[in-house]
């Protein structure tokens, strides 16, 4: 598209950023993105072709589902050749899950898919939504020698661009709602946008490949002092369960009680995949570092290294949906396939 005006598709899924205050009732109502230029006239100063698409039946991100991920990924794929990049407006609560999922579903992505949202509705005076949208658009349009500057799925929020599958929402009130505890920011936005190119994925220029088969027979078991045998067994015996994420303490540690270890081993022997992810927002699972993780390693629990829980869920759904043999899934879980893990 060299020599042509940069074109972007802005996709609205729902969420706080798309709400305005009704001047008559004071209640929040959906924002009319067809009139975005009227609300954000500064966008006219950007020499881009901006198109807008709002999904039918807009949802609060707390109602996000894998089916909606498929709808979003299909829309990006069907529009892929027409646009230079994409901005996804999404509720912040599950944004990291959706961004993680799309990073796996959009194989060979060579264009930007920038997620953003806000903590306050666009129509409120102090809304962070305006700056987030403008910066996300600039980032999605940015090029380096006619190649997308950031050809991957990202989240932009409060002056930071983060890799989507490395990100977690960590604050429900502050504008800096997201953190990437184990991977540096891809760009920092101040007076200028400073791209940290050494951390950004390089394009492979292969044809985009869409994956839409997701298997959500997965679960999360978060450990806590006092967790009972009955609760653990009930979780392990969930009908049709294919994979279980255990959110462990620190660097991957767990109780050493025989009922706990024996229960996990029995489930693994029956074919359940168990994935060890730390409860910490930064740091990595290192099974065997302490005695309290030696047994997990011995019985076949897999290390998630420094993956986020959001990314672990999305990766498991993707790998299970691809119907790889169990041993292949176990191999892929312990290595980066979309930049989601550092070894």
| One domain for residues 35 and 168 | yes
Let me know whether 206 and 262 are in one domain.
Answer: no
d(CA 26, CA 72): 31
pLDDT at 119 over 70: no
Q: Residue 1 to residues 5, 10, 143, 270, 322: CA-CA distances in angstroms?
A: 8, 18, 11, 53, 33
- Does residue 97 form part of some domain? yes
64: CB partners within 8 A, 6+ apart: 91, 94, 97, 98
Residue 338: inside a domain:
no
Domain stop point among 176, 210, 244 = 210
pTM of the predicted model as reported, rounded to 2 decimal places? 0.92
* CB-CB neighbours of 329 under 10 Å: 21
Looking at residue 50, its pLDDT comes to 92
- Output the pLDDT for position 321: 98
Asked if residue 117 belongs to a domain, the reply is: yes
pLDDT of 129 reads: 65
| Chain mean pLDDT for the chain | 90
Domain count within the chain: 2
Burial class (CB in 10 A: 0-12, 13-18, 19+), 265: middle
At 130, give phi and psi (nearest 5°). Answer: -60, -50
Q: Are residues 234 and 276 in the same domain?
A: yes
Say if residue 171 is in the same domain as residue 249.
no
Q: What is the dihedral of CA 230, 232, 233, 235, to 10 degrees?
A: 120
Q: State the pLDDT confidence band at 1, using cuts at 50, 70 and 90.
A: very low
Same domain, 43 and 161: yes
**Residue listed under structure tokens 């989601």:** 340
Rounded Cα distance, 231 and 302, in Å: 21
Q: How many residues does the chain have?
A: 343
Same-domain pairing of 202 and 295: no
Full residue range of the structural domain in which residue 78 is found? 6-210
Give the confidence band of 309 by pLDDT, cuts at 50, 70, 90.
very high
In this structure, is residue 1 part of a structural domain? no
d(CA 70, CA 84): 21
Helices (H), ranges, 107-203: 129-141
Q: Kindly indicate the confidence band of residue 126, based on its pLDDT and cuts at 50, 70 and 90.
A: low
Q: Answer yes or no: is pLDDT of 286 > 50.
A: yes
Q: What is the CATH number of the domain that holds 185?
A: 3.40.50.1170
In a shared domain, residues 175 and 62: yes
The helix/strand/coil state of 334 is coil
Residue 130: inside a domain: yes
Domain final position from 210, 228, 252: 210
Q: Please give the C-alpha separations between residue 220 and each of 28, 278, 280, 304, 309, in angstroms, as whole numbers.
A: 34, 12, 15, 13, 9
Residue 340 lies in a domain: no
Active site residue 16: yes
| pLDDT single digits (tens) 71-112 | 999 999 999 999 999 999 998 889 999 999 999 999 999 999
How is the chain split among helix, strand and coil, in percent rounded to 5? 35, 20, 45
Residues 234 and 183 in one domain: no
Catalytic choice (6, 16, 116, 278): 16
CATH number at residue 238: 3.40.50.40
Mean pLDDT of 310-317: 98
Q: Which residue, of 210, 230, 253, is where some domain finishes?
A: 210
Q: Is residue 341 part of a domain?
A: no
Q: What pLDDT sits at residue 60?
A: 80
Q: What is the DSSP letter of 253?
A: B
Query: What tens digit of pLDDT does each residue of 31-74 get?
Result: 666 667 777 778 888 889 999 998 988 788 789 999 999 999 99
Same domain, 188 and 222: no
Q: 149 and 203 share a domain?
A: yes
Judge whether 305 lies within some domain. Answer: yes
Same domain, 299 and 159: no
Q: For residue range 207-246, list pLDDT tens digits in order.
A: 999 999 999 999 999 999 999 999 999 999 999 999 999 9
Task: Say which range, 15-24, 153-162, 265-274, 302-311, has the weakest mean pLDDT.
Answer: 15-24
Domain shared by 39 and 136, yes or no? yes
Is the pLDDT confidence value at 179 over 90?
A: no
């Amino acid at each position: 598209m060299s020599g042509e005006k940069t074109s972007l598709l802005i996709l609205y899924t729902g969420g706080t950023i798309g709400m305005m205050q009704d001047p008559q009732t004071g209640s929040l109502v959906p924002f009319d993105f067809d009139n975005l230029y009227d609300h954000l006239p500064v966008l006219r100063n950007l020499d881009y072709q901006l198109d807008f698409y709002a999904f039918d039946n807009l949802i609060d991100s707390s109602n996000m589902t894998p089916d909606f991920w498929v709808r979003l990924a299909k829309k990006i794929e069907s529009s892929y050749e027409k646009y230079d990049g994409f901005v996804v407006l999404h509720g912040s609560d599950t944004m990291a899950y959706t961004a993680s999922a799309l990073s796996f579903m959009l194989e060979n992505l060579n264009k930007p898919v920038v997620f953003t949202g806000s903590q306050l509705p666009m129509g409120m005076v102090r809304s962070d939504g305006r700056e987030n949208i403008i910066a996300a658009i600039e980032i999605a349009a940015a090029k380096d020698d006619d190649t997308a500057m950031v050809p991957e799925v990202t989240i932009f929020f409060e002056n930071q661009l983060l890799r989507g599958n490395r990100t977690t929402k960590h604050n429900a009130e502050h504008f800096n709602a997201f953190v990437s505890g184990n991977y540096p920011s891809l760009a920092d936005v101040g007076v200028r946008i400073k791209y940290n190119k050494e951390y950004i994925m390089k394009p492979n220029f292969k044809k985009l490949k869409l994956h839409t088969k997701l298997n959500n027979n997965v679960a999360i078991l978060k450990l806590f002092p006092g967790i009972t045998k009955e609760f653990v067994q009930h979780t392990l015996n969930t009908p049709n369960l294919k994979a279980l994420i255990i959110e462990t303490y620190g660097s991957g540690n767990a109780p050493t009680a025989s009922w706990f270890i024996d229960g996990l081993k029995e489930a693994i022997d029956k074919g359940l995949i168990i994935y060890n992810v730390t409860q910490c927002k930064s740091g990595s699972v290192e099974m065997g570092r302490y005695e309290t993780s030696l047994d997990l390693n011995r019985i076949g629990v897999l290390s998630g290294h420094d993956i986020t829980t959001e990314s672990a869920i999305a990766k498991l759904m993707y790998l299970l949906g691809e119907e790889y043999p169990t041993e292949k899934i176990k191999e892929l879980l312990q290595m980066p396939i979309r930049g989601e893990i550092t070894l």
